[in-house]
Structure 1
Amino acid sequence: MAKKVDPGLNAMASKATDSSKPPLKAPAKYELGFIVNKDHKLSPSYKPALKAIPGTSKQMTPEAVAAFSKMRKAAKKDGISLTAVSGYRSYARQKVLFAYYSRQLGAKQAARVSARPGTSEHQTGLAMDVGASSGRCVISKCFASTREGKWVAKNSHKYGFIMRYPKGAEKTTGYAYEPWHFRYVGTAIAKDMKSKKVKTLEKYYTK
């Protein structure tokens, strides 16, 4: 079960902290499809119910694990072997990671490629980094050019996943292109975004 959070955090994620940005008609926090980004943060104590992804030590929410298992099975039928590179990350773990990237790249550049603690989708248990079982182009932009990367980009919506940080959307999402980072939002939202050709949740909820 998710840990208890402050009542204020259950309010609708309908307004960005930056008043110049359009309001988001998004689901309430902690509901499937809700927004997590630099303007919509998670409580440090938030931790969803988790389940291990079969064959790995990685964890996601039970519904996300089930969806990934279906997607991986479908990919295998097409001769594509997928793996979960990462799944859930705690607030504390994200704090360590962001500090590391800040030391390596500087805070400004780190903020383009890593999330500050409380703003990472990985803390929701609904986000994952997908990779090829071969290990080729893991957590790299070249993943997009692999057979695995192309398959996931084309088919992930059928299983409720979206590429969360698509190419050319950094001004909208706040993050650089990550063709390996996928967010589970459920098939209703994922398929609707695909049919409307909307690439980001931010755009989807301001339409």
Structure 2
Amino acid sequence: MFPSKYPSSIGVIVNKSIYLPQTYKPQDLVYPDVPFLFQEKIEKRQLRSEAAMALKKMFVAAKKDGVYLSGVSGYRSYDTQKWLFERYMKRDGYLEAMKYSALPGTSEHQTGLAIDVSGADGKCAVSSCFANTKEAQWLSQHSAEYGYIIRYASGKEHITGYKYEPWHIRYIGPSKLALDMHKRGVCLEEYYNVYSAK
């Protein structure tokens, strides 16, 4: 593992090999003007400002198509990720937890650029059944138009080190980059030729 050189970059790569400093917290966190599955203004409701603006545009476009999205979990601090991972490890063991949860410092949620999304009804939120929903299909087809990618794509598990997560989207900047990745069918590690540890 080695530290990220540019933790505040919109294009930052964070994975099982590249980690963020324990003290890193984005300086431009805001509360996106989009629906969430909860009402409280708490840590996980935040995103970096550029990502939040793009998310709002995407949610508005989805609504025009009759697809109603909700946020589930955005920014997550190092300490929160540590608490979550330890909980999952106690429940499922270290190796199993590593397939679906990040060690503290290696979570994209700490960047403030990633968010878990569900349908407005919350059914299948952060669950494998989300892949079969119209919301997941819409995200797969359109998220790149707003600078977001499905970060842990199906068929890329051997590269990202994580199970397929159709609900986990990551803002990577201008839509041109996301659209190019979508067209080529590559994940972030492939695009930048930086691979993750298993």
TM-score > 0.5 by shorter chain: yes
**8 Å CA contact 2:4, 2:13 repeated in 1:** no
1:120 aligns with 2:98: no
Unaligned runs of 5+ in 2: none
Indicate yes or no: 2:184 matched with 1:196: yes
1:35-74 correspondence to structure 2 within 5 Å: 35-48=13-26, 49-54=28-33, 55-56=35-36, 57=41, 58-74=45-61
Offset, 1:142: 1.1
1:32 aligns to 2:32 (yes or no): no
**Structure 1, residues 102-122: CA drift from partner, whole Å, max 9, x if none?**
000000000111000000000
Check if 1:104 corresponds to 2:91: yes
SS in 2 for 1:131: strand
How far apart in 2 are the matches of 1:117 and 1:9? Answer: 13
TM-score by length of 2: 0.88
Q: Secondary structure at the match of 1:139?
A: coil
What is the aligned length? Answer: 183
Q: Distance in 2 between matches of 1:112 and 1:45?
A: 25
2:118 alignment counterpart: 131
Task: Detail structure 1 runs of 4+ shifted over 6 Å in the superposition.
Answer: none
Aligned twin of 1:173: 160
Please tell me whether the aligned partners of residues 33 and 189 of structure 1 are also in contact (alpha carbons under 8 angstroms).
no
Question: What TM-score, normalized by structure 1, do the two folds share?
Answer: 0.84
- Answer yes or no: is the 8 Å Cα contact 2:4–2:20 preserved in 1: no
State the shift of 1:145 in Å. 0.8
RMSD of aligned alpha carbons = 1.6
Query: 2:84 & 2:182 partners in 1: Cα distance?
Result: 32
2:128 paired residue number: 141
Q: Identity over aligned residues, as a percent?
A: 48
| Counterparts of 2:146 and 2:66, CA distance in 1 | 18
Partners of 1:201 and 1:120 lie apart in 2 by 14
Matched with 2:170 is 183
1:150 has 2:137 as partner: yes
Query: Do 2:153 and 2:166's aligned partners in 1 also have CA atoms closer than 8 Å?
Result: yes
Whichever residue aligns with residue 25 of structure 2, its letter is: K
Higher RCO (Cα < 8 Å, 6 or more apart):
2
Q: Are 1:87 and 2:66 an aligned pair?
A: no
Cα distance in 2 between the residues matched to 1:140 and 1:9: 30
1:163 to 138, 141, 150: 150
Instruction: Measure the CA separation in 2 of the matches of 1:118 and 1:74.
Output: 33
Structure 1: unaligned runs, 5 residues or longer: 1-7, 12-27
Q: Deviations over 1:44-71 (max 9, x none)?
A: 0000020002244300000111001000
User: Greater CA radius of gyration, 1 or 2?
Assistant: 1
